[in-house]
C-alpha cells in the first residue's frame, strides 16, 4: 500500500550521468516502495514498437538519423503520467531545461510535488562501469563482467536470454556520451539547485549503500510506505 504522501502525488526524478546506476536504483526502490517507474528510453522504444501515433512520429526522426525533438519526448512522458497516481520515479527525463520546465508546469497543474535525486560519479569510474556492462536481449536485465557477472557466461540468470554489449557502451561512444551529458547537465543541475528540490548523493558506492542512502532520503521526505 502506498504512503499518504505518495497518494497525494510526488514525482522523483533520478538525475545523473550514463552508467551511474539511476535505472538500477530506481527499479529496485520502485518495487520496494510501491512507486511507479518510468524510463523515457523504454517508453520511447515501446511506443515505436507498438506503432502508436507518438511512436510513428518519433520513428520518422530516428529513421532519418535525427534526434527525437524535446517536445515529442515530453508529450510521450507526460501522456504516460496522465493515468498514474501516487509516487512515480522518472529515469532519463528531463534531460534539458525545456523538458524540465514542461514537467514542472504539468506537476503544478496536478498539484504534485517534485524531488530530484542527483547521483554523481567520476568519469573514469563511469567509463570502467559502462564498457564492462552487458545486457539481456530478452528481458533487459543488466550485468557487469567484473562486479555482477551472470552465473553462466553469456546467459541471463533470470530468463536464459543471450547477453550482449550495446553499441553505445563502446569506449569511444561512452566518452562522447559523458561529454554531452556534462554539457547538458550543468544548467539543469543549477536549475534544480535553485529550487531546493535536489539531493546529491555518490553513485560510486556499493549498490546496497546507494540504495540505503536514497531510501532514507525518500522516506524522510515522503513518509514510509504503509
Model confidence over 61-112: pLDDT tens digits?
Answer: 777 666 678 888 899 999 999 989 889 999 989 988 889 999 999 999 999 9
More confident residue, 5 or 140: 140
Predicted TM-score of the model (pTM): 0.81
The annotation status of 197 as a binding-site residue, yes or no, is no
Looking at residue 8, its pLDDT comes to: 59
Q: Could you confirm whether 215 is annotated as catalytic?
A: no
- Indicate whether 5 pLDDT > 90: no
Tell me the per-residue pLDDT of 106-161, one tens digit each, with 9 for 90 and over: 999 999 999 999 999 999 999 988 999 999 999 988 898 988 899 999 999 999 99
Looking at residue 78, its pLDDT comes to: 95
- Count other Cβ atoms within 10 Å, centred on residue 85: 14
Looking at residue 221, its pLDDT comes to: 65
**All 3 cell numbers of residue 125?**
569510474
The annotation status of 171 as a binding-site residue, yes or no, is no
Q: Report the phi/psi class of residue 9: left, alpha or beta, with left for phi > 0 and alpha for psi in -120 to 50.
A: left
- Count other Cβ atoms within 10 Å, centred on residue 60: 12
Exactly one of 59, 75, 95, 128 is catalytic; which is it?
95
Give CA–CA dist 188/192, Å, rounded.
6
- The pairing of strands 87-91 and 36-39 is parallel
Looking at residue 101, its pLDDT comes to: 93
Give CA–CA dist 114/36, Å, rounded.
14
Note the helical H segments in 12-131: 22-33, 40-50, 53-63, 70-82, 97-110, 123-131
The annotation status of 142 as a binding-site residue, yes or no, is yes
Looking at residue 59, its pLDDT comes to: 85
Nearest to 189 by CA among 121, 102, 118, 103: 118
Helix (H) or strand (E) holding 116: strand 113-120
Angle between helices 70-82 and 53-63 (to 10 degrees): 160
Tell me the per-residue pLDDT of 116-128, one tens digit each, with 9 for 90 and over: 999 999 999 999 8
Domains, the chain:
4-222 (3.40.50.300)
Cα torsion angle, 132, 213, 106, 103, sign: negative
**All 3 cell numbers of residue 143?**
550485468
Q: Could you confirm whether 95 is annotated as catalytic?
A: yes
Q: Per-residue pLDDT averaged across 176-202, rounded?
A: 90
Contacts with 64 (C-beta within 8 Å, 6 or more apart), sequence order:
none
Exactly one of 145, 177, 215, 221 is catalytic; which is it?
177
Helix, strand, coil fractions of the chain, as percent rounded to 5: 55, 20, 30
Contacts with 75 (C-beta within 8 Å, 6 or more apart), sequence order:
54
Confidence of residue 168 (pLDDT cuts 50, 70, 90): confident
Angle between helices 171-195 and 97-110 (to 10 degrees): 50
Q: Which of 43-47, 143-147, 221-225 has the lowest mean pLDDT?
A: 221-225
Amino acid at each position: 500500500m502506498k504512503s499518504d504522501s505518495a497518494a497525494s502525488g510526488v514525482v522523483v526524478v533520478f538525475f545523473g550521468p550514463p552508467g551511474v546506476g539511476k535505472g538500477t536504483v530506481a527499479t529496485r526502490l520502485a518495487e520496494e516502495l510501491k512507486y511507479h517507474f518510468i524510463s523515457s528510453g523504454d517508453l520511447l522504444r515501446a511506443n515505436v514498437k507498438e506503432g502508436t501515433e507518438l511512436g510513428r512520429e518519433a520513428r520518422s526522426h530516428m529513421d532519418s538519423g535525427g534526434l527525437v525533438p524535446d517536445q515529442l519526448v515530453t508529450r510521450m512522458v507526460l501522456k504516460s503520467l496522465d493515468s498514474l497516481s501516487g509516487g512515480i520515479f522518472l529515469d532519463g527525463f528531463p534531460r534539458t531545461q525545456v523538458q524540465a520546465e514542461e514537467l514542472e508546469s504539468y506537476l503544478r497543474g496536478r498539484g504534485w510535488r517534485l524531488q530530484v535525486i542527483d547521483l554523481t560519479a567520476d568519469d573514469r569510474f563511469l567509463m570502467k562501469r559502462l564498457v564492462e556492462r552487458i545486457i539481456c536481449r530478452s528481458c533487459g536485465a543488466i550485468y557487469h563482467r567484473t562486479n555482477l557477472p551472470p552465473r553462466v557466461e553469456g546467459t541471463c540468470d533470470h530468463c536464459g536470454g543471450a547477453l550482449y554489449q550495446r553499441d553505445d557502451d563502446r569506449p569511444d561512444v561512452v566518452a562522447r556520451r559523458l561529454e554531452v551529458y556534462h554539457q547538458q547537465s550543468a544548467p539543469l543541475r543549477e536549475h534544480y539547485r535553485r529550487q531546493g528540490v535536489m539531493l546529491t548523493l555518490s553513485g560510486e558506492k556499493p549498490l546496497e549503500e546507494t540504495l540505503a542512502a536514497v531510501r532514507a532520503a525518500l522516506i524522510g521526505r515522503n513518509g514510509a510506505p504503509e
